[in-house]
Structure 1
Amino acid sequence: MRLRAITGFFFIIVMLGSVLLGAVVFTTFYLLLSILCLHEFNKLIKQSGPDPNLYTGLVNGFFVFAGFAIECYYPSNKLILFIIPVLLGSIFVQELFKKSSAQPFTNIAYCFLGILFTVVPFTFFHAMGFVGGDFNFHIPLGFLLMLWANDTGAYLVGTQLGRTKLFERHSPKKTWEGFIGGIVITAGVAVLLNKYYPELTLPQWIITGAIISVFGTMGDLIESMFKRSINVKDSGGLLPGHGGLLDRFDGLLLAAPIVYAYLFFISNS
């Protein structure tokens, strides 16, 4: 428990620093984080049998994130976005040269799935910092605070009042009571955010929080389903007491694209 608390404390410090220390740190940190998550995903897949090419996937994941990140800084420069499809083609070409590939298209599919599941969500989260044009840490910070509030609220309410299982087949400990508790506490954080960060109205902050609660919980369930399908308890051991990076960011992976789509819609309506 002590190790878990220490890890959690430093994790929060690092995450807060990632959004508070400016645009360059923000971009660099989430580029690195997305690649580490992709590496963790590919290692898990290799343990379960298929053999997606690790380095081809990492290189493509790097350019996918970098391409969209550069577009945030220079919206008029689309050149790198046209390079990405060519680079992604290397995943198919590389498989041609494997001498012992019994299931080439399974390997190709997992390579693409890794990028889609880990890197792409972080590109959307990164884009939240630029949704108004220039970099602004308020929305990504608000996203993280509401994501943590949902996890904490669901845990506290679930352990004290939880009776009705939410999705027992994939996550036996999650309950409807915890799920509702997470939504309520997230809404409370949304109210506080509105007082300090007026970029969004109160209803918009609350809707954003609701999206995070619903799709963050679904992301958690999906990651649990993934781990059960390959018979592992934790996605990795990088965070002592907390498991791997995918264990810590499972809620973000599904919620970030939906939240960005909502923010993009309301900012351009």
Structure 2
Amino acid sequence: MRVRAITALFFVIIVVASMLLGVYVFSAFFILLSAFCLSEFYRIIADETGQPSRLLGLLLGILAFGLFVGHSLGLLTSDYLLFTTPFIAAVFIAPLYQKQNKPFISIAYTLLGIVYVILPFVSFFALSFTTGTYDYRFPLGFMLILWGNDTGAYLIGRFFGKRRLFERISPKKTWEGLIGGVLLAVITAQVLAHYFPVLTNWQWAGVALVVSIFGTYGDLVESMLKRSQQVKDSGAVLPGHGGLLDRFDGLLLAAPAVLAFLKIVL
């Protein structure tokens, strides 16, 4: 438990610092982080059914994210995103030179990693440009709410949880934990509304509800992935916590949903 707490503290400091140190540090850190998460996904999904093109997928993911960053910073036009086209084509061409019984499963796995991991991280990065220029308060607020939701769900679920939320996929999750997560997320959002007035109270509360709902589903989806592949953790890079994908599973569905929510309300 002590190792887990120390790891969590240092990781939170690093993530928060990446946002506060400016857009270039933020961009580089999350491009690298998304690449590690994608690598973990490819390691989990690979089996006798299909082997994703790991190197091509990583190159495509990093390139796509990097080009989006360049576009957001005004360094590149949207036309540069077309540079991803040869890599997408290569994902389909590579299996021609490999002996696989079902090559399209490998193609699907490779592209699924981009959709499941890279696009959500790109959406999270896009939150920082909600107003058109870099503003760390949006991604930082998102992460604080997500952490609040996870903390509330863990504490309430551990001490008061009785009714299973989705026992087939995640036996430890309970309805009581879900409610606790939502409550702490909303409370966190109201504190943010005071210190980060870029959104109104009800808008921050809306973000909290979206994060709680989609973050919980993101956690369940990753649990479904690991259970289907008979894997306990996505990796071992974080002592006491498992892999990076385990720490950001809630973000994968919540970030695109929050981005859509903000585009609507703003």
TM-score, length basis structure 1 = 0.96
* Distance in 2 separating the partners of 1:26 and 1:64: 16
* Distance in 2 separating the partners of 1:159 and 1:42: 32
Following TM superposition, by how much is the alpha carbon of 1:72 offset from its aligned partner in structure 2, in angstroms? 1.1
1:84 alignment partner in structure 2: 84
1:14 alignment partner in structure 2: 14
* Distance in 2 separating the partners of 1:265 and 1:85: 30
2:173 alignment partner in structure 1: 174
1:73 alignment partner in structure 2: 73
Letter in 1 for 2:245: L
Query: How many equivalent pairs are there?
Result: 266
SS at match of 1:6: helix
1:258 alignment partner in structure 2: 257
8 Å CA contact retained: 1:48, 1:230:
no
Letter in 2 for 1:128: L
Letter in 1 for 2:66: A
Is 1:45 matched up with 2:40? no
Unaligned runs of 5+ in 1: none
8 Å CA contact retained: 2:49, 2:105:
no
Letter in 1 for 2:16: L
SS at match of 1:50: coil
CA RMSD of aligned residues (A): 1.2
* Distance verdict in 2 for CA 1:63–1:76, change over 3 Å: closer
Following TM superposition, by how much is the alpha carbon of 1:75 offset from its aligned partner in structure 2, in angstroms? 8.1
* Distance in 1 separating the partners of 2:179 and 2:20: 30
Following TM superposition, by how much is the alpha carbon of 1:76 offset from its aligned partner in structure 2, in angstroms? 7.2
* Distance verdict in 2 for CA 1:159–1:46, change over 3 Å: same
Letter in 2 for 1:89: A
Following TM superposition, by how much is the alpha carbon of 1:33 offset from its aligned partner in structure 2, in angstroms? 0.5
Following TM superposition, by how much is the alpha carbon of 1:44 offset from its aligned partner in structure 2, in angstroms? 1.4
1:34 alignment partner in structure 2: 34
SS at match of 2:86: helix
SS at match of 2:227: helix
Q: How does 1:109-148 map to 2 (within 5 A)?
A: 109-148=108-147
* Distance in 1 separating the partners of 2:236 and 2:244: 8
* Distance in 2 separating the partners of 1:90 and 1:261: 31
Letter in 1 for 2:257: I
The answer to which of 66-75 and 252-261 deviates more is: 66-75
Deviation string 1:16-67 (CA, Å, 9 cap, x unpaired) is: 1111110000100010011111111111122464211111111111112112
SS at match of 2:134: coil
1:63 alignment partner in structure 2: 63
Following TM superposition, by how much is the alpha carbon of 1:108 offset from its aligned partner in structure 2, in angstroms? 0.1
* Distance in 2 separating the partners of 1:186 and 1:230: 31
Following TM superposition, by how much is the alpha carbon of 1:86 offset from its aligned partner in structure 2, in angstroms? 3.4
* Distance verdict in 2 for CA 1:211–1:91, change over 3 Å: same
8 Å CA contact retained: 2:49, 2:102:
no
* Distance in 2 separating the partners of 1:138 and 1:166: 32
SS at match of 2:162: coil
* Distance verdict in 2 for CA 1:164–1:131, change over 3 Å: same
Deviation string 1:145-187 (CA, Å, 9 cap, x unpaired) is: 0000000000111111111110110000101111011101110
* Distance in 2 separating the partners of 1:75 and 1:132: 18
SS at match of 1:135: coil
Letter in 2 for 1:216: G
* Distance verdict in 2 for CA 1:48–1:143, change over 3 Å: farther
Following TM superposition, by how much is the alpha carbon of 1:3 offset from its aligned partner in structure 2, in angstroms? 1.4
* Distance verdict in 2 for CA 1:166–1:104, change over 3 Å: same
* Distance verdict in 2 for CA 1:76–1:69, change over 3 Å: closer
* Distance in 1 separating the partners of 2:75 and 2:258: 20
Q: How does 1:204-219 map to 2 (within 5 A)?
A: 204-219=203-218
* Distance verdict in 2 for CA 1:11–1:161, change over 3 Å: same
* Distance verdict in 2 for CA 1:249–1:96, change over 3 Å: same
* Distance in 1 separating the partners of 2:194 and 2:47: 48
